[in-house]
Amino acid sequence: MSRIGKLPVAIPGGVTVEEKARKVTVKGPKGALELSLRPEIDVKVEKAQVVVQPNTADTRHVRAYHGMTRAILNNMMKGVTQGYARNLEIIGVGWNAAVQGKKLVLDLKYGPDGEFVIREIKRVSKPGCRVYSGTKKLPRVLRGQGIYVLSTPKGVLSDRAARLENVGGEVLCQVY
């Protein structure tokens, strides 16, 4: 059995959990989420907690699915109660950023003739295809004329700052 999978998942107040036909539905104040269970895993809803148990032999794959299912259920509990948020710290000179409603508004600097200095921002990681890179494998953008923006354990950094800190992470976008 997985060490993570053995731990029960607490059900917060205001959240209902139902297990029906190999699907777990979690409903709370921020919405509802659903998880289809793998055939190797069983879920039991008891009083104020959810217990995840393997129903087949204890192999490497079953242990992995056991811990993964428990972690997903725990994240679902957080998602329907607190929601998901990403806090970013913006550091830099020559531009300004502000949040207006649900939009991020960037005031970028211009060149001496009024032309845009930033020509394009290209998204690299997408929800369906995450791209991760270490500091050694991170390529240069336009021979050093642009930057990559990375989400690292030390926060959101440019490729130059990530190389100085010697940390890798998820490549969010290219700016050039």
CATH number at residue 71: 3.90.930.12
> Looking at the predicted structure, is the pLDDT value of residue 10 above 90?
yes
Residue 19, pLDDT > 70, answer: yes
Reported pTM: 0.55
Average pLDDT over residues 28-45: 94
Q: How far apart are CA 116 and CA 53, in angstroms?
A: 57
Q: Could you report the per-residue pLDDT of 57-107, keeping only the tens digit for each?
A: 889 999 999 999 999 999 999 999 998 777 767 666 566 777 788 887 777
Q: d(Cα 19, Cα 37) in Å, to the nearest integer?
A: 10
Residue ranges of E strands in 37-167: 41-46, 49-54, 96-100, 103-107, 121-123, 132-133, 147-152, 155-158
- Residue 119 pLDDT class (50, 70, 90 cuts): confident
Number of Cα atoms under 13 Å in the Cβ half of residue 33? 18
11, 71: one domain: yes
Please check whether residue 33 lies inside any domain of the structure.
yes
Q: Within a domain: residue 93? A: no
User: Which pLDDT band holds residue 111 (cuts at 50, 70, 90)?
Assistant: low
The DSSP H or E segment spanning 33 is strand 31-36
Q: Which residues contact 166 (CB under 8 A, 6 or more apart)?
A: 135
Please compute the mean of the pLDDT values over residues 150-161 and round it to a whole number.
88
Range of the domain at 74: 3-81
- Among the residue ranges 69-73, 77-81, 126-130, 166-170, the one predicted with the least confidence is 126-130
Q: Is the same domain home to 76 and 140?
A: no
pLDDT, position 94: 60
Which of 7-11, 81-85, 141-145 is most confident? Answer: 7-11
- Tell me if 8 is assigned to some domain: yes
